Chains A and B, each alone.
Chain A
Amino acid sequence: MLAFLSGCSTAPDKIVLLPDPDGKVGAVIVRSGTEQQLINKAYAGVDVAKGGAMQKTTDSQASVQARYGELLAARPPRPETFTINFLFDSATQLAPESIATVTKLKADLATWPAPHLVVVGHTDLAGSQAFNDRLSMRRAQTVAASLIKEGIPVQQIETAGRGKREPLVRTADGIANPVNRRVVITIQ
């Protein structure tokens, strides 16, 4: 920190890449003027001087925690997802294990800051996009209704249908698959 402060008027922009909780790392492309750098390793970074010159850096978990502990502590909680399956090719009949899922969800909600639930319906790949958009929305509304019945305030719930755009199991178009008929609830 002191070293940084002493370099006051010429301090560079600093970019540091972090691993996710599973240790996976994505990538960031840093551009300034005509220069460009790609970083794709945990705790790798780039310093960018005011004039645009770049220098690659390597930090560690400890140095990032020491320098940015407060910033990292201020991050919102990571969204959690819960999946509800449907009994048959139905928009209304939930699989029996959904009761336990909702109980767990309610326990998480109790400690969540300003919780917002995004309830998104999905279908399998049988049928047209327009048909599945409507069906997935009906599934989302069915789940939303059961959440409201469980006492979750309606203002906290948003519903959407993603149709057949995001199958859990990739199949050919037109194929029925029970695993893909689901509603995913995300607590934000």
Chain B
Amino acid sequence: MYSQAIKYALILACGCMAIADACAADAAGVVKTLKGTVRIERPGASPSVAIGSEVYSSDRIVTGPQSSVGITLRDNTLLSEGSDSVLELNKFAFSTTTYEGALDATIKRGSLSVIDGKLAQANPDSVRYSTPTTTLGVRGTEFIIEVGGKGGSAP
């Protein structure tokens, strides 16, 4: 949080691309596909979303009706979020040198597809997906989670 605050202060202060680039390594991932209305909620910022937008740890990614978004995380994890969905990227950290890190994401509403990346392959216990009722541990795979209850079934 603190370092993000400094980063945004610096970017605001000089509007300087060089600083944004230097911080690119902090991003958890990048938006690769986009359809309809997609919003990224981040404390103290409301970034516009386009292909190439960066996603950070603690971001909340919200899709509208008939909308979707696809995100590649730095460890090659591929996520896609269906329509009327809310995804919270609670935590993401990854070292390309050691493959250590953590991935914790909650799909609060709607649907999520996951293709595991290097973190899940090298260090499966550090990866966790959840819904409000369910927790998933992964062992190098691809899967879909659809959240039940009222969230997933509004007519």
Contact = CB atoms under 8 A, between A and B. Distances in A.
B51 to A, nearest CB: 5
A13 B33 contact: no
Interface residues of A, number: 57
B137 interface: yes
Interface size class of B (residues with CB under 8 A): 35 or more
B87 to A, nearest CB: 12
A17 B133 contact: no
A66 to B, nearest CB: 13
A71 B145 contact: no
B52 interface: yes
Nearest to A81: B76
Nearest to B20: A155
B104 to A, nearest CB: 14
Given A28-B139, A160-B96, A13 B78 contact: no
Given A26-B139, A31-B134, A74-B81, A13 B148 contact: yes
Interface in A127-171: 133, 155, 158, 160-163, 165
Contacts of A133: 97
A28 B148 contact: no
A25 B138 CA distance: 11
Given A28-B137, A50-B148, A72 B113 contact: yes
B80 A18 contact: no
A116 B73 CA distance: 11
A32 B115 contact: no
B72 A76 contact: yes
Given A16-B144, A72-B80, A8 B71 contact: no
Contact of B148 (A11, A70, A113): A11
Greatest chain B CB density within 10 A among A32, A47, A76 is at: A76
Interface string B138-155: 111111111111101101
A78 B78 CA distance: 8
A76 B149 contact: no
B146 to A, nearest CB: 4
A97 interface: no
A124 B68 CA distance: 43
B80 A76 contact: yes
A9 interface: yes
Greatest chain A CB density within 10 A among B52, B131, B153 is at: B153
Contact of B32 (A18, A77, A161): A77
Contact of A29 (B71, B131, B136, B144): B136
A160 B74 CA distance: 12
Nearest to A20: B142
A62 interface: no
Given A18-B142, A28-B141, 12 more contacts: A13-B133, A40-B139, A48-B133, A48-B148, A68-B111, A74-B69, A74-B70, A77-B32, A114-B51, A155-B21, A162-B97, A188-B74
9 contacts: A18-B143, A20-B141, A28-B137, A71-B68, A73-B68, A74-B82, A113-B51, A113-B52, A118-B96
